[in-house]
Structure 1
Amino acid sequence: METLRFNFSGGQHRLSGAQLVGVVGSGNLEVLIEQRPLNGACEVEISTAAHGFGAIWEAVVRDFHQRWQLADVHVAINDMGATPAVVSLRLDQAAESITGSMGGGAA
């Protein structure tokens, strides 16, 4: 397993609570998104079975951060080979379910 960590600043939207979406055994991806005191940062930690895809992961999670602008949020991703499209979908599902907002950009 490879572990990747990314931190983003400049988020404007804070969450309350936590949300788990997906199952590693079904769709090969699980995302947990939760509020944490991170001095306004959005922290993403990825555990993946697919080695050598750090640049792709960074692009996907950077795009997610730009859409949602989350602050004081920790995102944990457990991956067993999901495609970037599935990753993006699960990230948006987690953010939508915890914010009640659709289409990116927390309320």
Structure 2
Amino acid sequence: MESFSFKYPATKSVAGRAHTGVLGSGDLEILLEPTAFNETEFVVRTASDGFQEIWKRVFDRFVALNDISAKIILNDFGATPGVVSLRLSQVLELANQKIN
């Protein structure tokens, strides 16, 4: 089991909290909470050790496309980078639906 975090500067807010995914074999749960800290913080808890560089690349791509101030907690049980990207897109879409 491994835990780590990454922080990126950010300027835009999101409308609300959101949750997507499930924690189970080969899957991923993501919790998103808006913050006022002008940064995006990713907190990862994973059952797979030694993949920090891959996680960082996925997050680098996400923040390049999405400038949001949020704390994003990822509880992982072996998700692939493709699943991580999909879940990040889903949770952001759910958070932004709170505007309506």
> How high is the TM-score relative to the length of structure 2?
0.90
Sequence identity, in percent?
Answer: 37
Structure with bigger RCO (C-alpha 8 Å, 6+ apart): 2
SS in 1 for 2:68: coil
Unmatched 5+ stretches in structure 1: 101-107
SS in 2 for 1:87: helix
Q: Name the CA shift for 1:66/1:46 in 2 (closer, same or farther; >3 Å).
A: same
1:26-41 alignment, distance < 5 Å = 28-38=27-37, 40-41=38-39
Equivalent residues of 1:16, 1:34 under 8 A apart: no
RMSD over equivalenced CA pairs, Å: 1.3
CA distance in 2, matches of 1:7, 1:44: 6
Deviation >4 Å, runs of 4+: none
Unmatched 5+ stretches in structure 2: none
> How high is the TM-score relative to the length of structure 1?
0.85
Amino acid corresponding to residue 65 of structure 1 in structure 2: V
1:1-107 alignment, distance < 5 Å = 1-9=1-9, 11-25=10-24, 28-38=27-37, 40-71=38-69, 73-100=70-97
Structure (1/2) with the larger helix percentage = 2
